[in-house]
Amino acid sequence: MFWTLWIGLIAALLGNAPAAMASTIYRDPDTGLTFSQNVGLYKSDGRGVTFRIAVPDAVDSYAPYDVVIQIVVPTEVGWAGFAWNGGMAKNPLLAVWRASNNQDVILSSRWSNSHVSPTPYAGSQYTVFKTGTKSNSTHWQVTAKCTGCTSWQNTEGGNRYLQPKAQNRVAFAYSPLRPSNPNSNTSNFPVHDVHAYWNHEFALASNANFAAVVQKLQS
């Protein structure tokens, strides 16, 4: 323990990028869902965006399934992005930011075939839950169901699936700037300053009561 702390401190002093951390369990008191979470760091002092995912328990590994994503964002963030399969290109992307009233959260489903600004993607739909969507003086958070985030077609027309009981490689992106037309989910947006990857452990995020809880949250 002692030496681990010192090695961590020395690495921090040298300015090394932190190694990607393992997912941890987060039991959300608001929604009642169990999430697995990772933090996408955008500053070396530990500031980051927290990404949580909740998965239904009984699902087939090679079939689409709904998930719930909860994102906790420091107010200084302009927009934050999540790549469901760990890269900018050829996987469902989500970008989130706040509307100009600093109250409403905008979610934008995107896709990009290369490293150019992603365009609206109709293959994923997000349903925001009022429960689990809130803010205070330092952070805002959003909780939404996604249909169409765990499966998609690759460019050859084959189906790809995120594994409900294993690790899936994901990525995030951060910009200090808000999109140019912040009240619209089809706004253009500025390129990210930071991106990072990790393996998100979906197996920690299984919820036996997923369907019932989601039904209650969206009614």
The site for ligand NAG (CB under 6 A) is made up of 72, 108-109, 120, 134, 136, 138-139, 141, 185-186
Q: Are 168 and 200 in contact (CB under 8 A)?
A: yes
Does 115 participate in binding ligand HEM (rule CB under 6 A)? yes
Q: Choose from ligand NAG, ligand HEM, none: what does 32 bind? Cβ within 5-8 Å by kind.
A: none
Whole-angstrom Cα distance, residue 157 to residue 71?
Answer: 30
Q: How many residues does the chain have?
A: 219
Among 52, 98, 110, 178, binds ligand HEM (CB under 6 A): 110
Residue whose C-beta lies closest to ligand NAG: 120
Does 171 participate in binding ligand HEM (rule CB under 6 A)? yes
Does 87 participate in binding ligand HEM (rule CB under 6 A)? yes
**Helical H segments across the chain, by residue range:** 2-14, 210-218
Q: Choose from ligand NAG, ligand HEM, none: what does 115 bind? Cβ within 5-8 Å by kind.
A: ligand HEM
Question: How would you class 19 by CB atoms within 10 Å of its CB: exposed for 0-12, middle for 13-18, buried for 19 or more?
Answer: exposed
| Token pair listed for 65 | 């399934």
Does 83 participate in binding ligand HEM (rule CB under 6 A)? yes
Please identify, using beta-carbon distances, which residue of 73 and 205 lies nearer to ligand NAG. Answer: 73
CB neighbour burial string for 69-88, b if at least 16 within 10 angstroms, e if fewer: bbbbbbeebbbbbbbbbebb
Whole-angstrom Cα distance, residue 122 to residue 148?
Answer: 9
Q: Are 128 and 119 in contact (CB under 8 A)?
A: no
Among 48, 56, 118, 164, binds ligand HEM (CB under 6 A): 118
Whole-angstrom Cα distance, residue 96 to residue 172?
Answer: 11
Among 33, 49, 59, 173, binds ligand HEM (CB under 6 A): 173
Please identify, using beta-carbon distances, which residue of 54 and 80 lies nearer to ligand HEM. Answer: 80
Comparing CA positions, the residue from 157, 23, 162 lying closest to residue 84 is: 162
Name the one residue in this structure whose structure tokens are 């299984």: 206
Please identify, using beta-carbon distances, which residue of 134 and 160 lies nearer to ligand NAG. Answer: 134
Please identify, using beta-carbon distances, which residue of 131 and 177 lies nearer to ligand HEM. Answer: 177
Rounded least distance, CB 61 to ligand NAG, Å: 27
Does 189 participate in binding ligand HEM (rule CB under 6 A)? yes
**Rounded (5°) CA angle 218-189-23:** 55
Please report, as ranges, the residues that interact with ligand HEM according to CB under 6 A.
81-83, 87-89, 93, 95, 110, 115, 117-118, 171, 173, 189, 191-192, 195
